[in-house]
Structure 1
Amino acid sequence: MGSDVTMKCGFLEDDASVSWMNGTDVRARHRLDGPRLVLTHVDLGHNGLYSCFQNPLGERRDTIILRIGTIPREPVVSCRSNTYPKGFYCSWHLLQPTNIPTEFQVEVQHNRRVLDVQKDHVHKYKISMVLFPEVFSSFPYRVNVTATNALGSASYAISFEESSIVKPDPPERVVATPIPSNVRRLEVSWTSPSSWPEVDSFPLKYFLRYRPLIKDQWQHVELSESTSHTITDAIAGKEYIIQVAAKDTEIGTWSDWSVAVHATPWMDQPKQITSTTDTSEPLLETKPSPQPASPEPRNGGTPVGGAYMPLPFSTPLLVGAVLLLSMW
């Protein structure tokens, strides 16, 4: 990368005249030296298929696939045992890509003995398993990884004691549930990681952390071997986020945190408000009173002189009697 690359057209003599193509005419910065094509300051943009043709007939004499890459640097190596005391695995990576095929060779030694290595057929940057030859060994392990490609190679080695690489996988099946009628409690349970082979002989302890979503500060509880815990200081009505980590009770480091679960403490159902009517005294129905009947119009002559004189009830009878006497 960044240097010059020279490609020669087959076995032609140094005085041969040739033309080069890379799909079209070679447009990258270059120079011709007889049957040779010299590309200057190459980078990934120079990758491709190059063909050369002998002049003047234009016969193709050679085809070259060019891939630009770099020499590998020392790989970064790490090892871990998540299946203690069964074995451990190692992984590595390059800080800078080589951009060309690179192979890795791994050698593991313990007490001057080379151990068998099970390669991971899916990930080339990992060995899937190295069995512990013994448990509680005082001899360190040494792992050497060599990266090799067409341009060169580089190696890196690490040494460690078995106790320093023990790190379980996170606990599994974490469940948090509210406790009926307890507005400040949450019941949390989980199972040990399925990858840990002998939980009875090599027990795990656990670390629980929880917080309400409305706060950033975690609360922590360390537990010895128990796979459940009751949170008693939850804030009523607030949603909580909860995670658990695991560690061998004697050696190693804590696992990563488990997948987060969410739960809200029990919330009392609001009481239903109902309206009631006191029926101890009967309600009296009120009806509008009927309007008094209008008096019927009275028949009577017009008073003499236009003056109206009210007559007593007996007056018409007396008048009638006077008229009868005068007719006789």
Structure 2
Amino acid sequence: MANIVTSFCCVVLAAVVVVYAQRRSQQGGRIQYEKISSDVTMQCGSLDNDASVTWKVNGTDVKARRREEGPRLILMEVNMSSNGLYSCFQNPDGQRRDQINLRVGFPPKEPQVTCRSNTYPRGFYCSWHLQHPTFIPTDFEVDVQHNQRPLEVTRDTVHKNRCHVKFPELFSSSPYYVNVTAVNSLGRASTTISFEESSIVKPDPPEKVVAKPVANNARRLEVTWNSPSTWPDVETFPLKYFLRYRPLIRDQWQHVELSDSTSHTITDAYAGKEYIIQLAAKDMEIGTWSDWSVAVHATPWMEEPKPITSTTESDVIPETTPGPPSAAPRVGEPTAACSTLLWSTHLLLACVLLSIM
């Protein structure tokens, strides 16, 4: 009975080893990250220094500049073409001993960080990016502090390089500190920025902008819009608006600043000219102007030309009663001219005969 249990355990263990080896093979071996332009050393498993091995990359011979020292492969000044799955086989039986997935890239530089509140007074968000690609996976660590206390940071579910922070208090004069650290297998780099609450307030642009002509007025356009839907409390924290417009035939904009209103009538439009219209929004007291809204186009009202229906007496053509149609000459019927000519011929012939007699 003990032998049967022992045999069963050995079979199970062998199956586990096979599955593990297959999964490791499917995953492409262990990953090794290295810096571009550096010399890279890859070790074939745990073989002794005097072991003899053969290296292949993606199933073919290694053609890059290299040096081989026992179980080690040294690639010279690697670049992006050096990426690949490297396999080593022990001589002379040719058994594969190791697989290395080489990935080359750069350590990160300091990220660029900006913060903005478009949902004031609820909170703000910060976003960041790297000016230069690293070509290998890079993560970001974010730390936000206010009054020397860390604040809760929520990572955005859609934008991977963005986080959200709630304001711990309003109308605070104490600065906020945001630190973003870029980290990958080759290094790390950090950027810290500071700001006051009032300096990052920037609404989203106005929405649903509509421009229509005003009936019976060739120089007016009626413009309406909605507050940005992301602004949570427009009653308590009202917005002011900046309207700009111009005809397509000109490059110069005309501007109107409006307080706490979501409509305006343009009264100096050029008759019959198409206009382009945009709006921006801003908190009444703090922050900066939003970006411009999506442009809309409109043309002032134009009177339709009236059709010409009246005529004078001299232009009237008198009506005439048509007479009976003239009889068309029929084929073979002699006309009056033909009859006269025939009679003259007979008379001349008679005169000639009398003179002979």
TM > 0.5 between the two?
A: yes
The corresponding residue for 2:149 is 113
Task: Give yes or no for the alignment of 1:205 onto 2:240.
Answer: yes
Q: Can you list the C-alpha shifts for 1:9-55, whole angstroms capped at 9, x where unaligned?
A: 01111111111111211112211111111111111111111100111
Mapped pair 1:146 → 2:176: no
Q: Do structure 1's residue 7 and structure 2's residue 35 form an aligned pair?
A: no
What is the aligned counterpart of 1:68 among 92, 104, 122? Answer: 104
Counterpart of 2:104, as a letter, is I
Shift of residue 276, structure 1, vs aligned partner: 2.7
Given the superposition, is the C-alpha separation of residues 34 and 190 from structure 1 closer, same or farther in structure 2, using an over 3 Å criterion?
same
The answer for the alignment partner of 1:89 in structure 2 is: 125
Letter in 2 for 1:67: R
Change (3 A) 1:264 1:151: same
SS of 2:198's partner is helix
Counterparts of residues 162-241 of structure 1 (less than 5 Å): 162-241=197-276
Report the Cα offset of residue 285 of structure 1.
3.8
User: Unpaired segments of 5 or more residues in structure 1?
Assistant: 289-293, 307-328
| Equivalent position of 1:243 in the other structure | 278
State the alpha-carbon separation in 1 of the partners of residues 209 and 252 from structure 2.
21
Q: Helix, strand or coil for the counterpart of 1:45?
A: helix
Counterpart code for 1:5: V
**Mapping of residues 16-95 of structure 1, within 5 Å:** 16-23=51-58, 24-95=60-131
* Percent identity over paired residues: 69
Aligned CA distance change for structure 1 residues 273 and 103 (closer, same or farther; 3 Å)? same
Alpha carbons of 1:123 and 1:263: their partners in 2 closer, same or farther (altered >3 Å)?
same
1:149-181 C-alpha deviation (Å, 9 max, x unpaired)? 111111111000000000000000000000111
Bigger helix fraction: 2
Kindly state the Cα deviation for residue 286 of structure 1 after the two structures are TM-superposed: 7.7
Q: Which amino acid aligns with 2:168?
A: P
Unaligned runs of 5+ in 2: 1-35, 324-335, 341-346, 352-357
Aligned to 1:324: none
Cα RMSD for the two superposed structures: 2.4
TM-score (norm 2): 0.78
Amino acid at match of 1:154: A
Aligned-residue offset at 1:278? 3.0
Q: Deviations over 1:63-82 (max 9, x none)?
A: 00011121111111110000
Which string of whole-angstrom CA distances, capped at 9 and with x for unpartnered residues, describes residues 68-108 of structure 1?
A: 12111111111000000110000001111111111111111
Task: Assess, with a 3 A threshold, how the Cα gap between structure 1 residues 275 and 113 changes in structure 2: closer, same or farther.
Answer: same
**Equivalent residue for 1:318?**
none
Match of 1:326 in 2: none
Would you identify which runs of 4 or more consecutive aligned residues in structure 1 move more than 6 Å? Answer: none
Q: Deviations over 1:106-154 (max 9, x none)?
A: 1111011111111113322110x21111110011000011111111111
Counterpart amino acid of residue 187 in structure 1:
E
Q: Structure 1 residues 287, 115: CA separation in 2 closer, same or farther (over 3 Å shift)? A: closer
What is aligned with 1:309?
none
Pair 1:184–1:152, CA change in 2 (3 A) = same
SS at 2:105 equivalent: coil
Deviation at 1:282, TM superposition (A): 10
Pick one of 270, 288, 293 that aligns with 2:305. Answer: 270
**What is the CA–CA distance in structure 1 between the aligned matches of 2:96 and 2:211, rounded to whole Å?**
72
2:292 counterpart of 1:257: yes
Q: What is the distance in 1 between the residues matched to 2:189 and 2:171? A: 32
| Inter-CA distance 177–58: structure 2 relative to 1 (3 Å threshold) | same
CA distance in 1 between partners of 2:173 and 2:98 (Å): 60
**Cross-structure match for 1:313:** none
TM-score, with length taken from structure 1 = 0.85
- Aligned residue in 1 for 2:140: 104
For the structure 1 residues 269 and 282, does the alpha-carbon distance in structure 2 shift closer, same or farther, using more than 3 Å as the test? closer
